[in-house]
Structure formats: C-alpha cells, structure tokens
Structure 1
C-alpha cells in the first residue's frame, strides 16, 4: 500500500441529472479501463436513499498515476461535462494506513 494515492468524491447531482451523469461516468470508465494501468480502483457508488448522490472511490498506483489520469482526454471530457449535471462536489484525499484489498504484487 505504500505510495498508493486515493480519494473519495461525493457528487450531489442536479435534480433530474442522474441518468446523464451515470452515462457520462460509464463513458469515462471505458477510457480508464482501456488506457490507465496506474488506476487500480475507480468505482462509482449509488448512495442508498439519496438518488441524487454518487460517491466515487479512486485508488492509484501513486501520485504520478493520478496526475496522468487527470491529463487523459476522457477525464477532461468528464470534468467539463459534469458542470451541467452537478450541484456540489466534496473531495477527501486519502492515505492508506492498513487494510485488506487491492495491492500491487498480491
């Protein structure tokens, strides 16, 4: 886990924007799967009882992999596209201490 870089992001969507947001995320994930080996985990979560919220959990091999993710055309398109769909974004930057789960070399 040493060196891995993570974050969680809570999106509060504009009313009626969930379907369009989820489609934009699906398109973005296709790009991540195809061209980002340093992105270890990238998951979009529904929030029970909160249909206008989504939580992303993202884990990268290191800070450089995150920076590379941010430069990708599919990520840039997501950042621009979400502006019309999202009311609020909350980001928590994460440092792993210990746990069980994905780690390179396992």
Structure 2
C-alpha cells in the first residue's frame, strides 16, 4: 500500500514563500530524475494565503519514503528550508484505498 504525507508550511512573508518555492523546485528536479518510488510530490499554493504552501507526497511504500529522505537533493532542502519558514506541520498518511495509487493497483 502507498505511504504519504501532507506538509503545511508557513513562510515568514510572501518573498520568503517565493524563495522557498525555488528551493523546493531544485529538490523536485532531483526527485523527478532519481526517485522512482516517489509517485507524487506536489507543492501547492493556498488561495488567499500567500505565505502558505502545502506539499502532498505519495510514495510506493515506507521504504521509498526513507530512500527519498536519504537523497542529497532532499537533505539540502531539509537543511535550508528553515530560513524561509515561520512554521510547518507534517501529517503522515497510510493509504486505505484510492484511484491511481499503489493501493488501487493492488486491488486489481
């Protein structure tokens, strides 16, 4: 079954949010190129909240997430994100069922 998380980030100000987006995009370039177990990794802006970003991440399984966390591009993102942020909150998700997910494939 898939393993996922949602992270809500609050930047210091809109300028910091834009710098955070650039840092996230650098990490995403590595994720696209080197992480087959990372199924979905999306940075979302929140309507009417210019300082807020929400990441949705879905991995093939817990091991794929752990491999993601070991990657140099992710380690750099984790080390540098704090300079832009006021706070963040992580919610881990265990898939029950869905469409277009690892769990969906297992049910076929």
Using structure 1 for the length normalisation, give the TM-score.
0.92
2:100 aligned counterpart, secondary structure: coil
Determine the C-alpha separation between the residues in 1 that align with 2:80 and 2:97.
35
**Number of equivalences:** 104
How far is 1:83 from its partner? 1.1
Q: Deviations over 1:27-62 (max 9, x none)?
A: 110000000000000000000110000000000011
Matched, 1:21 2:20: yes
Tell me the secondary structure at the aligned position of residue 56 of structure 2: strand
Partner residue of 2:6? 8
Question: 1: CA distance between counterparts of 2:96 and 2:23?
Answer: 32
Match in the other structure for 1:66: 65
Q: How far, CA to CA, are the matches of 2:62 and 2:38 in structure 1? A: 10
Higher helix share: 2
Structure 1 unaligned regions, length at least 5: none
What RMSD over aligned residues (CA atoms) do the two structures have, in Å? 1.4
Structure 1 ranges of 4+ moved more than 2 A: 101-106
2:51 maps to 1:76:
no
For residues 48 and 72 of structure 2, the distance between their equivalents in structure 1, rounded to whole angstroms, comes to 33
**For residues 52 and 84 of structure 1, what CA distance do their matches in structure 2 show?**
14
Q: Deviations over 1:70-105 (max 9, x none)?
A: 010000110111010011110111011122223385
